[in-house]
Amino acid sequence: MAEIINGKEVAARVKAEVRNEVLRLKEKGIDTGLAVVIVGNDPASRVYVNSKKKACEEVGINSYEYALPEETTQDELLKLVGELNADERVDGILVQLPLPKHIDENAIINAISPQKDVDAFHPFNVGRIMIGEYNFLPCTPAGVMELIKSAGIELSGKDCVVIGRSNIVGKPMAMLLLHKNATVTICHSKTRNLKEICSKADVVVAAVGRANFVTADMVKDGAVVIDVGINRLPDGKLCGDVDFEGVKEKAGYITPVPGGVGPMTIAMLMKNTLASSKLKAGIKD
Q: Is 157 left (phi over 0), alpha (psi -120 to 50) or beta?
A: left
Whether the link from the prior residue into 141 is cis, omega within 30° of 0, is no
Point out the catalytic residue in the list 52, 220, 248, 250: 52
Distance CA 97, CA 144 (A): 20
- Total number of residues shown for the chain: 285
Q: Is 115 annotated in the active site? A: no
Under 8 Å between Cβ of 249 and 216: yes
Under 8 Å between Cβ of 251 and 222: yes
Burial (CB count within 10 angstroms: exposed 0-12, middle 13-18, buried 19+), residue 200: exposed
Point out the catalytic residue in the list 15, 91, 115, 119: 119
Can you say how many angstroms the Cα of residue 122 is from the centroid of all Cα atoms in its chain? 14
- The secondary structure of 155-192 as a DSSP string is -TT-EEEEE---TTTHHHHHHHHHHTT-EEEEE-TT-S
- The secondary structure of 32-71 as a DSSP string is -EEEEEEES--HHHHHHHHHHHHHHHHHT-EEEEEEE-TT
Q: Is 284 annotated in the active site? A: no
Strands 253-254 and 3-4: parallel
Under 8 Å between Cβ of 45 and 103: no
Point out the catalytic residue in the list 91, 96, 171, 250: 96
User: Which amino acids are annotated catalytic?
Assistant: 52, 96, 119
